[in-house]
Amino acid sequence: MKKLVLLFIIIIYLIPKQTKAQSDGAIVAAGALVAIGVGIAAVKQMEERAELTATQWILSNNPELTSFSLKTLSFDGKKVKDMSATSLITYTIQEFTPTNKPELDGRKQVLFGFTSQGWITEYGIDFNKVKWSLVDDKEWMKMMISYVKVASSENDENIVMNILKEGKVVNKGVKAKSKLVVPFYKLTGDMYVVTDYSNDMKLIYNERSLGIFLKETRNLVQIGRGDIIEIHDFFFDQD
């Protein structure tokens, strides 16, 4: 679904805004199929370029990483219905010991790519409008604790941390062993609960969503629940 939204954006750029009327509907349909095919290829190409750019950022800013795997987790991790002009790209990173047929058994991190308005143009991605942020399991747990505290009435950090180690964040709260142990507040779409998380960002709970507000760019991105679960599973090996 997320990739389809991005695909339609690209197709809009590929198809001329003013087209000559066609008497043959088959020709129009064939042209649309060609445009879709080109659009799919363009999305794939942009994903590959974004992954290369992410790798280059790691190489430039984290020289201590000398052997690692970088994989695209989500090329568009924001909520699909989020109508803001920003998005979120996420990558999983794991270190390994170089050897014949190595196993990924080292430190895990996740790289966030926060985009700004106009990050997709008719020429592709403008990477000058992407702000990168690298987090490890400790930082992710800290973020999740702050988020759960702002989204619920549970204020004990130790309790929240222990629950998160065994459970996961779902739409209605935090679930552990198939039970909802920390229910989230029931809010309407125009209600927000905010916590000042760090010098760089605020975390926001709204309509069962995790929102990240970047202070520098003043952009708000809402992360999809599925992406939160995938990141949490990546760090803590949840099934």
Quickly state the pLDDT bin for 1 (edges 50, 70, 90).
low
Reported as a single tens digit per residue, the pLDDT across 210-237 is 899 999 989 888 887 888 889 999 998 7
Listed in sequence order, the residues at least 6 apart from 10 whose beta carbon sits closer than 8 Å to its beta carbon are 39, 42, 43, 120
Q: Residues of the chain with pLDDT > 70: what percent? A: 76
Quickly state the pLDDT bin for 116 (edges 50, 70, 90).
confident
| Most distant pair of Cα atoms in the chain: their distance | 69
Supply the pTM of this predicted model. 0.77
Measured distance CA(173)–CA(191) in Å, rounded: 17
Quickly state the pLDDT bin for 36 (edges 50, 70, 90).
very low
Measured distance CA(41)–CA(7) in Å, rounded: 9
Instruction: Give the range of the structural domain holding residue 6, as residue numbers without chain letter.
Output: 2-236
Reported as a single tens digit per residue, the pLDDT across 75-94 is 754 443 443 466 788 999 99
* CA dist list (Å): 234 to 84, 112, 134, 237: 27, 14, 15, 6
Assign 233 to helix, strand or coil.
Answer: helix
Q: Give yes or no for a contact between 174 and 164, defined as CB atoms under 8 angstroms apart.
A: yes
**Which pLDDT belongs to residue 238?**
53
Flag whether pLDDT at 5 surpasses 70: no
Question: Comparing 125 with 61, which gets the higher pLDDT?
Answer: 61
Mean pLDDT of the chain: 80
**Which pLDDT belongs to residue 85?**
61
Question: Comparing 222 with 13, which gets the higher pLDDT?
Answer: 222
**Which pLDDT belongs to residue 178?**
85
Question: Comparing 149 with 23, which gets the higher pLDDT?
Answer: 149
Quickly state the pLDDT bin for 18 (edges 50, 70, 90).
very low
Measured distance CA(76)–CA(148) in Å, rounded: 23
Total domains present in the chain: 1
